[in-house]
Structure 1
Amino acid sequence: MELFPSYDGSCHPDDWFNNLKFVAALHGISSETVLVDLALLKISRAIRNNSSGSITKLSQVIDLLKADSSYKIFKLTSEKKLSALRFTHLCDVRDFIVELRQLLSDAEIFNLSTQKQYIAKILSSEMLANDFSSKIANATSVDEVFIKLQKSLYKLKRVVKYGSVIALRHIDTNKILSSTLNKYSGGSKQYWVFAKDGNVTDFESWTIMPEVIVLNTPPKYGDKKEKGSLVYYGDKITLKNNGTGHKLHSHCGPQSPVTSQQEVSCQTWNNFDDNWIVQHNIYDIDPEKKEPLIECHDIVFKHIPTNSMLCSHKYMLNNNNQEVTCFGYQKINLTKWHIEILDM
């Protein structure tokens, strides 16, 4: 640290002044007259003006600095940096919040409503901003806003990757997507897919893989979908059940056993009916926009060949298992699922 810090307009006057007083206290200097003389000596001559010779009080020193154009420029620059600030899953949450709070202070944005507006803008997309804004709408203090922000940002860092092992929980009924080695007695006579209560086992865990490109050829990691690379909203994927090794599947023709909707099954052969598009439950996001699939958002799965949605409802296959079907072409409550990452 410089013995006595200089002021050239590149920091907030209050921060510089507190630093100056701290260094002076370390040297046993407490006289206001001496502190004023030291302060004036350490202010850039580009900022001092003819009236500085008449300054005798510390409060006048601060008034001098805040009357100078450099102070206005500093605040405007801080506000521009704040507007340009963006959070992505690669950011460190603690460091990001420290920088955000410092810029809000440097720009002298202390009004709670205005702070909420700026904080919403720092998220990487309209989707994330709207989601966060709804969570802080009723916050009544800055501390409450930043506590909720920290929790949200940590959740935003949990992104889904190719090769991730996940569970899928049906939002409307809170049951978990599952499969088994049992087969439907009618319809396609392929392996059951259903939703159930209870703990997650291998039969309720699914590995995210790229879509089937070549008929009867297993999905392969590669190109932009290497194992460990991010899954983006709008991506085409397949889901492999880890208990059976079979892929989540649907098709035209065979009907579900209870409601006669489009059957959902698991099966061994690799074909285009194993392919799904994963989307946010509200926004349709182009994968080229590179919005990563995030654990904390509710999503839908659209079956690509039939353009229908993975769905469940309170109709039961038997005493324990809830029917899963494909139904409709629009996002409705029965088509919403929540990802729980088991292994990233």
Structure 2
Amino acid sequence: MDFPKYDGNIHPDEWINDIQKYDSFWKARYGIEYFNTAVSLIDPIIKLPTGIDNYEKLRNALKEDISFIIFKNTNKRKLLSLKYIPERKGGDTSKFISTFRKLCYNGEINDIEEQKKYLYKSLPSNHFDYISNEFYKRMKNINSINELVREFENIVLEESNLIRNGSIVALKHVATGKYLGTFEGLNYETGSKNQLISVQSLEPDPDSWWKIQFSKEIATCTDTPITLQHAKSNVFLGIYYWGGYYYICNKSPSTNHTEVFCIKSNYNVNMWYVKHSKLENHQGYLNSNDIINLSIKKCDNNGNIQDDQ
């Protein structure tokens, strides 16, 4: 049996709790208490006062030794250097939270306000970082470590569903339940005669994956211009119109709406604008499974704008 020694590099409460597990075994086998043996496992550089005859006195004596002050301060410094790495960048949220809670325990940081400050300091400081921004907003009404961790996990889960610049997405047409796709070499026979767009599959496949791009790290649902590039053929989703002081657009042969096609060059008629379909003034970020409206702003030579949706 491996008996744990005490050298000041473990919290006294944790060490004594481990030691007390041996008491019943020790009494059953040898008929004596384990306490005296436990004292002998303490490193001789730690000097105990006289009169230590039970675990509670031993616990208090170990906490009064200078080694425990150093131990607590070391764990506080480790907390200051602790940094959260999102899972999309190779981090492990479970291990991070476990380490954070352990360091708080070892450093005897029990005040919830102090715990909030340490956790907030560990988060990315990027101005656009969703986790740190949301955590700052929500931590005011948190009153326990369990609430703190639960809210942090909720934010991490929300962050994992955000659409980021460069994300690969599938666009599902609400009316038909099919995904928007395109095939290289399959073009319109009329109109622009560019690569054809259609809703085709009930499940996303390689022909229905699109790379979404915008100027920020994450997109809001209020007038964020985006481009959609077909992941397989690298063409861009867009429309074509011409005319100086009036609009002329090709019409789709199947719906008679404005023709949407794919073309290899990326130009301003490929810039789509996102609006949340259910919440007109939705100020939140673009998430997976959001139902959105896509529109293109067309402008004539007089600066008049017409939205195509």
Q: How many angstroms does 1:109 deviate by? A: 1.5
Partners of 2:180 and 2:265 lie apart in 1 by 20
Post-superposition Cα deviations, 1:260-307, rounded to whole Å, max 9, x if no partner, equal: xxxx9743320022xxxxxxxxxxxxxxxxxxxxxxxxxxxxxxx599
Could you say which structure has the larger radius of gyration? Answer: 2
Correspondence for 2:91: 91
Report the AA paired with residue 168 of structure 2.
S
Correspondence for 1:207: 209
Partners of 1:114 and 1:46 lie apart in 2 by 32
Q: Secondary structure at the match of 2:263?
A: coil
Q: Secondary structure at the match of 1:130?
A: helix
Report the AA paired with residue 150 of structure 2.
I
Correspondence for 1:292: none
TM-score, with length taken from structure 1: 0.54
User: Does the Cα contact within 8 Å between 1:163 and 1:207 map onto a contact in 2?
Assistant: no
Which of 261, 268, 273 aligns to 2:262? It is 268
Correspondence for 1:70: 67
Q: Secondary structure at the match of 1:272?
A: coil
Report the AA paired with residue 266 of structure 2.
F
Partners of 1:80 and 1:163 lie apart in 2 by 37
Post-superposition Cα deviations, 1:201-255, rounded to whole Å, max 9, x if no partner, equal: 769x9524498xxxxxxxxxxxxxxxxxxxx93899743399x996323789776
Partners of 1:251 and 1:110 lie apart in 2 by 63
Report the AA paired with residue 7 of structure 2.
D
Partners of 1:210 and 1:101 lie apart in 2 by 38
Gapped runs of 5+ residues in structure 1?
170-176, 194-199, 212-231, 258-263, 274-304, 315-331
Superposed counterparts of 1:114-263, under 5 Å: 114-126=114-126, 127=129, 128-157=131-160, 164-167=168-171, 207-209=209-211, 233=217, 238-240=228-230, 247-249=236-238
Q: How many angstroms does 1:79 deviate by? A: 1.7
Q: How many angstroms does 1:309 deviate by? A: 6.8
Q: Secondary structure at the match of 1:337?
A: coil
Partners of 1:145 and 1:234 lie apart in 2 by 25
Partners of 1:250 and 1:13 lie apart in 2 by 70
Q: Using CA pairs below 8 Å that are at least 6 residues apart, which structure has the higher relative contact order? A: 1
Partners of 1:13 and 1:335 lie apart in 2 by 47
Correspondence for 1:14: 13
Partners of 1:25 and 1:43 lie apart in 2 by 20
Partners of 2:39 and 2:17 lie apart in 1 by 15
Gapped runs of 5+ residues in structure 2?
174-178, 220-225, 250-257, 291-309
Q: How many angstroms does 1:57 deviate by? A: 3.4
Report the AA paired with residue 140 of structure 2.
A
Partners of 1:311 and 1:266 lie apart in 2 by 16
User: Does the Cα contact within 8 Å between 1:164 and 1:207 map onto a contact in 2?
Assistant: yes
Partners of 2:241 and 2:44 lie apart in 1 by 80
Q: How many angstroms does 1:153 deviate by? A: 3.0
Post-superposition Cα deviations, 1:160-192, rounded to whole Å, max 9, x if no partner, equal: 6968333489xxxxxxx97999x9xx9x89899
Structure 1 window deviating more from structure 2 (5-14 vs 52-61): it is 52-61
Partners of 1:137 and 1:250 lie apart in 2 by 47
In structure 2, do the counterparts of structure 1 residues 153 and 22 end up closer, same or farther at CA, with 3 Å as the change threshold? same
Q: How many angstroms does 1:60 deviate by? A: 2.3
Correspondence for 1:310: 273
* RMSD, aligned CA: 5.0
Partners of 1:63 and 1:251 lie apart in 2 by 79
In structure 2, do the counterparts of structure 1 residues 270 and 63 end up closer, same or farther at CA, with 3 Å as the change threshold? same
Correspondence for 2:286: 337
Q: Secondary structure at the match of 2:288?
A: strand
Post-superposition Cα deviations, 1:85-134, rounded to whole Å, max 9, x if no partner, equal: 32321233333322222122111112122222222333334422122232
Number of aligned residue pairs: give it.
249
